A and B are shown apart, each in its own frame.
Chain A
Amino acid sequence: MTSTLKISALTKCFASLKALDAVSLAVEPGMRVALLGHNGAGKSTLMKIVLGLLPFDSGSVEVCGAAPGSAAARAGVAYLPENAAFHPALTGEEQIGHYLALRGESPKGARALLERVGLHEAAGRRIGSYSKGMRQRVGLAQALIGKPRLLVLDEPTSGLDPVSRRDFYELLDGLAAEGAAILLSSHALTEVEARTDRLLILSKGRMVASGTLSDLRREAALPVTIRMTARNGYAADIAKALPGTIRFGADLQLSCSQEDKLGTLARVTGLGDRLADIEVTPPSLEDIYSHFSRRDGQ
């Protein structure tokens, strides 16, 4: 399958600062890829290069089979900037109508688009009077225009309330199912964890990890946490039986590596009815994320 977006060994410098350092990635049709990284990691820079807004120093970038920023690439790519801004004197409907016309569609479709992002009531009001989340939705609405083959979304859910976030990811699922490739950046790890196919972690301009969540989990090899609750009076017994256990009253906590997980669990279950409850927690995406980010001295 040919990739909608293909980047290899991309390097970009701002004066002495290396904002991107030999970054390679590919996004296939129907794939939702999340770009993670600390503030200033280079996420927005990477996206602007994909859109042809910024020149780059070396490497290659191919968008829908064309050069970034070329007419063919622009026809197939939708973008949501980090801080979506619009002219305050226009209404949401007029602004979306304008974007529709720029893509060669009838401005009459504006209302329907705004309805898709839940903004139909404010469609006739000036954008200057919108809240941040409402402006963000105007940004989302314009990214849905036409049938983009690639969506580049820079922190699309910032400023959205929890319900709208869920609606937004449902929209994305629909687009991906129709074959759109999606590259989005985010700082909200939990939602990204559940709603994307692949994760890329940038740190100081370098790609420090890429793959599915379970790939990253395996590669990071972070310890699994086992939490146990002892039955009355058995806590001390259990702590003695399982070396390395930390005890807080009747609650106990034990960490073990991924490989030792099953063996440790067998020993824990061997304790029989001295245990009231047991809970196994794999490393969270936060843990994995900070593992990869920190490895770089972050």
Chain B
Amino acid sequence: MRRILATARTEFRIAFRNRWVAIAIGLMALFALVLTAAGSAPTGVLGADRLSVTVASLTSLAVYLVPLLALLMAFDAIAGEAERGTLPLLLTYPGSRVEILIGKLLAHLIVLALALVAGYGLAAAAAFLADPGAASGLPALFRLGWTSLLLGATFLGAGYALSALARRPSGAAGLAMGLWLGAVVLYDLALLAAVVADGGGWFTTDLFPLALLANPADAFRLFNLAASEATAAATGVGGAAAAMPLWQSALSVLLWPLAALALSSAAFRKVTP
């Protein structure tokens, strides 16, 4: 435990010095403000308070931005140490490789949490300014917060795994961008295309929900949309969200970080410095 905390402290220090903390906070705050400005027109969603609407649009933002931030912080974690030549010495110290990964994960999650607090906080403050009854959306905001952290943890773990597989930061960066594009953008497009081609057959009824659950970004979106009342404001996934039991998407959101950590530690174990 002491070793994990020591690693986390050092990694946070490095993230701070490398301006990662500032970049992450700035990025989240900027997008949250843009979103607030864009959504300031009355939406007229029935019965929904201002904050719930904000949370719905923050969810769509987070699906893209949180994995991106996580991968950007993670891709250098192991490949960077290998390239700098700091890895061999580190691995001769007591402590397992999983402890190193968890330490890094902890530090990067704190950076992410700071960014989320800044971004979501700004958007929530704007919602409260516009609508005094926004407090009823607070549970949704809270839910968005912790699921965003779990989503971040998933992609941090995936980023570490890619970092360990690539061995070089440039290769790891390429793989990370590929994963982001694949998991967050192309996956949904491919699913939609398949659903359209299938025309309401076996794929749409049986495989499609599972395919959504299997993707951590989709599960995150499903969970937040299904749990909040504002499903009406959602995209095409919304329909599926309504049909799916909440525990299924919750389970996917909870299990993915563990799976990603297991994956990254398996990949890290294969690295010979």
By a beta-carbon cutoff of 8 Å, the part of chain A in contact with chain B is 48, 51-55, 71, 74-75, 77-79, 81, 83-87, 89-90, 94, 98-99, 101-104, 107, 139, 142
Contacts and interface: CB of A to CB of B under 8 A. Distances in A.
A85 B85 contact: yes
A103 B85 CA distance: 20
Given A53-B272, A74-B94, A90-B14, A48 B88 contact: yes
A53 B92 contact: yes
B10 interface: yes
Interface string B74-90: 00000000001110110
Interface of B: 2-3, 5-7, 9-10, 13-14, 17-18, 84-86, 88-89, 91-95, 272-273
Q: Which 9 pairs, one residue from A and one from B, show the smallest C-beta to C-beta distance? A: A101-B6, A85-B85, A89-B17, A79-B92, A102-B93, A98-B10, A51-B92, A74-B94, A85-B84
Contact of A102 (B13, B14, B95, B273): B95
B273 A104 contact: no
A107 B6 CA distance: 9
A81 B10 contact: no
16 contacts: A51-B88, A53-B88, A53-B272, A53-B273, A71-B94, A74-B94, A83-B85, A86-B86, A87-B10, A89-B13, A89-B18, A90-B13, A90-B17, A94-B10, A94-B13, A101-B5
- Which of B3, B88, B91, B95 is most buried by chain A, counting CB atoms within 10 A of its CB? B88
B13 A79 contact: no
Contacts of A86: 84, 86
A71 to B, nearest CB: 6
B210 to A, nearest CB: 40
Contacts of A85: 84-86, 89
A78 B94 CA distance: 10
Contact of B89 (A52, A71, A79, A104): A79
B272 A87 contact: no
Contacts of A81: 85, 88-89
A216 B48 CA distance: 89
B272 A104 contact: no
Contact of A103 (B13, B17, B89, B93): B93
B3 A52 contact: no
B6 A102 contact: yes
A290 B93 CA distance: 36
Contacts of A101: 2-3, 5-6
B94 A104 contact: yes
Given A53-B272, A90-B13, A94-B10, A99 B18 contact: no
Contacts of B86: 85-87
B103 to A, nearest CB: 10
A224 to B, nearest CB: 44
A75 B13 contact: no
A264 to B, nearest CB: 52
Given A48-B88, A87-B86, A54 B272 contact: yes
B92 to A, nearest CB: 4
Contacts of B94: 71, 74-75, 102-104
A295 to B, nearest CB: 32
A102 B92 contact: no
A31 to B, nearest CB: 21
Contacts of B272: 53-55
A139 B92 CA distance: 13
A54 B5 CA distance: 27
- Which of B10, B14, B84 is most buried by chain A, counting CB atoms within 10 A of its CB? B10
B93 to A, nearest CB: 4
Contacts of B92: 51-53, 74, 77-79
Contacts of B91: 53
